[in-house]
Chain A
């Protein structure tokens, strides 16, 4: 059984929620904590703890409105942890939501794909 993970949304941090039924990890909201490394540590720990139990159905969804540069590096580190798991399990389901053709989110997606040499699917949305 994959352990539960739920970090509630705040004004500067996103909701982080593992939905066991959908086999989906959602990171949703604004991400600009002063210390993003500290914020993402429990998420990385959860990934390490549960990586063996993830399946091909598993999805990782990044739905971020905007994020600061400290978070940019923390997200990079998280994706780096995810990369061998994706390669080994062939889960291949990492999604990057881009609202309203947001130029910053488009550039960030390109950076991560290029630097990590991994496929990150884009989901385009209109802002709610």
Chain B
């Protein structure tokens, strides 16, 4: 049977918590999924989603859910955001949806080498970083709560690869 692992958090998101969640995720994947490859990239996905949540949350109340199951890692981050920020994130993901990996790479490198940072410190690279590193699915949903407060939900699915030569029992 394929190994499974889950990690959930709900509450305030601070710098310390963000770093600790990523450290815990790294250790959790390593200790629960023998022979798992590319842990750094999986942790990076979580880090980028959490960065966005901390950067754009209008209320410091974030829900993070992570589940490794059936050979896939599903990450979900929910936070409250202004319509402008939530829509921008959603439009960015939608604009990248039909791009090939080569096109994503070109856009990533172009964005990496421009000198532009957003007013909240974003580099405009997070979703590109996730997609160029092999995430299978990436979606952002926006739901209006009241007035300008919107719920922004980012969901990502990535394939987990296992070194089946070294760990045949963990092969998924």
Contact = CB atoms under 8 A, between A and B. Distances in A.
A30 interface: yes
Interface string B93-133: 00000000000000001011101010011110110110001
B51 A68 contact: yes
Contact of A12 (B15, B120, B122): B15
Range of interface residues on chain A?
A: 20 to 34
A76 to B, nearest CB: 5
Interface in A75-128: 76-77, 80, 102-105, 107, 111, 114-115
Interface in B1-57: 15-16, 18-20, 22, 37-38, 40-41, 43-44, 47-48, 51, 54-55
A73 B48 CA distance: 14
A36 B43 contact: no
Contact of B15 (A11, A69, A102): A11
Contacts of B41: 103-104
A46 interface: no
Interface residues of B, number: 32
Given A34-B15, A111-B109, A115-B113, A69 B121 contact: no
Contacts of B20: 11
A50 interface: no
B161 to A, nearest CB: 11
A117 B100 CA distance: 25
B22 A73 contact: no
Contacts of B121: 33-38, 70
A2 interface: no
B112 A115 contact: yes
A54 B18 CA distance: 36
Interface of B: 15-16, 18-20, 22, 37-38, 40-41, 43-44, 47-48, 51, 54-55, 109, 111-113, 115, 117, 120-123, 125-126, 128-129, 133
The 3 A-B residue pairs with the shortest CB-CB distance, nearest first, are A35-B121, A69-B125, A73-B123
9 contacts: A11-B15, A12-B18, A37-B121, A69-B123, A70-B117, A77-B115, A80-B113, A103-B37, A107-B133
Interface of A: 10-12, 30, 32-38, 66, 68-70, 72-74, 76-77, 80, 102-105, 107, 111, 114-115
Given A80-B113, A104-B41, 16 more contacts: A10-B15, A11-B15, A30-B19, A33-B15, A36-B123, A37-B123, A66-B44, A68-B48, A69-B123, A70-B121, A72-B112, A72-B129, A77-B115, A102-B40, A103-B41, A107-B133
